[in-house]
Amino acid sequence: MAEDPLSHPALDKAAGEEFLREAFQIILEEAVRKGTDVTEKVCDWRKPQDLQEILDLELRGSGEPQQRVLEHCRDVIHYSVKTCHPRFFNQLFSGLDPHALVGRMITETLNTSQYTYEIAPVFVLMEEVVLKKLRELIGWGSGDGIFCPGGSLSNIYAMNVARYQRFPDSKQTGIWALPRLAVFTSQECHYSVQKGAAFLGIGTDNIYLVGVDERGKMIPADLEKQINKAKSEGACPFFVNATCGTTVLGAFDPLADVADVCERHGAWFHVDAAWGGSALLSRRHRHLLRGIERADSVAWNPHKMLMTGLQCSAFLLRDSSGLLQRCHGANATYLFQTDKFYDVAYDTGDKTIQCGRKVDCLKLWLMWKANGTEGLEKRVDRAFEFTRYLAEEIKKREGFQLVIEPEFINLCFWFVPHSLRGKEGCADYWERLGKVSAGNAGSGVGGEPPFSDG
Ligand SMILES: Cc1ncc(COP(=O)(O)O)c(C=O)c1O
């Protein structure tokens, strides 16, 4: 006789709980303890074909026994890169914060969406508290914002809001009714500015690249020159992106001077502080972002320097008139009903271009609760001190050469192998030096994969 599907629960709760208990143990042991143990490997790295053979990736008709599934969990962790490992030196990851991790786990477990108060009451209130705190650090007494899935999207949001603010009708009429819009950014900016121009129909040809000085900082006089050039070519300069903490050199554009230029030309002033924004927490280093309070919008990624883990990126606005909501709102009545039994101003989900939106505030909030602003400040200061220490060590060490003195926590250096030392005058010196770290262990010696030494 056929089983009645309604009389059986979809899941075996007891078995599920047992599985969770064992899986948590594996996560704790393999990913957290071993993942942060300097004597363990960052990753048991294998070539794609070998890894395909080792892992049983095939999906089949019938389910596998729990113990086998737990083995898969173990394998997944074992052959993955542990970005929290003390020897994981890839850019933009900063370790494992246990409170942030618990925030991520609670978020995953509750699996709610940030769009309305009725489905995310705690997180709607919490998101506003966290965003307010970030805005205060910028120097804004009021404003708006939203957590976005990454700094790239925060930058793209900025471009869209800037266009809407200048041409509100464009939401309905589209881009064909607009003049040729021009975007200004330094040549050191993050590539998401390029993606945004393409994605929003502005066109990458309409990005005017502004020159930088020897430290990679935007030259305000060149910004003005580029804006005048765009105007003389019939374009409408509507958006300037300045970067705080450029991706490679860690340069901070001179914000106050850039703000003056934006004011003179009526352009939206966006600051991409995805990387460098966290320096605002440090009383010693926040001067790097002097003038940020004059920005119209800011992108800031606590998931980079602050250790919240992916993803945690805030898009912050100085505007408090509801521009973000007007720009992106679609007023879908099935979700954002206006006759609810609470103040629907708490239904913040229509400020975004998404429908379902992951909760990104809890990991930062919990970590902030546990460490306080002072604890986070210490974390930032420590990163600066380590960078200073490393710079001094590099100067002492034969075969290593600083590219520039670090101003932030990016440290760019050359490793000069024996064969090239003292050959700076040779015509092919830079070409050969540039090949030293290409595609292998980063040392140019042996053929070991990057994560092989424990
Ligand atoms: C300056 C800057 N802006 C934006 C981004 C993009 O952030 P995300 O990776 O969160 O999209 C990065 C990432 O490296 C960055 O360094």
CA 293, 299, 301, 302 torsion: positive or negative?
positive
Amino acid at 49: Q
Measured in angstroms, how far is the CA atom of residue 156 from the centroid of ligand 1? 11
Measured in angstroms, how far is the CA atom of residue 442 from the centroid of ligand 1? 23
CA distance 205 to 184: 11
CA distance 367 to 107: 14
**Contact at 8 Å (CB) between 299 and 160?**
no
The pLDDT value given to residue 450: 34
Average pLDDT, the chain: 93
pLDDT in tens, 197-245: 999 999 999 999 999 999 999 999 999 999 999 999 999 999 999 999 9
Measured in angstroms, how far is the CA atom of residue 274 from the centroid of ligand 1? 6
Q: Among 195, 272, 412, name the best residue to mutate to test ligand 1's pocket (greatest count of ligand atoms within 8 A of Cβ).
A: 272
Residues of the chain with pLDDT below 70 are 1-2, 91, 438-454
Is pTM, for the whole model, over 0.85? Answer: yes
The pLDDT value given to residue 15: 93
User: Which has the closest alpha carbon to 257: 245, 240, 275?
Assistant: 240
- Whether the link from the prior residue into 311 is cis, omega within 30° of 0, is yes
297-300/144-148 β-pairing: unpaired
Helical (H) or strand (E) element with 164: helix 151-166
Measured in angstroms, how far is the CA atom of residue 150 from the centroid of ligand 1? 7
Ligand 1, residues at Cβ distance < 6 Å: 92, 150-152, 190, 192, 243, 245, 247, 272, 274-275, 301, 313
CA distance 453 to 363: 31
The per-type count for the chain, helices as H runs and strands as E runs, is 14, 9
Nearest atom in ligand 1 to the alpha carbon of residue 189 is 1
The pLDDT value given to residue 442: 36
CA distance 134 to 314: 8
Beta-ladder partners of 67: none
Q: What is the domain partition of the chain in residue ranges?
A: 13-88, 105-369
pLDDT in tens, 111-122: 999 999 999 999
Q: Is 445 helix (H, G, I), strand (E, B) or coil?
A: coil
DSSP secondary structure string, 297-344? EEEE-HHHHT---S--EEEEES--SSHHHHHH----TTTS-S--SS-G
The CATH class of the 105-369 domain is alpha beta
Measured in angstroms, how far is the CA atom of residue 5 from the centroid of ligand 1? 48
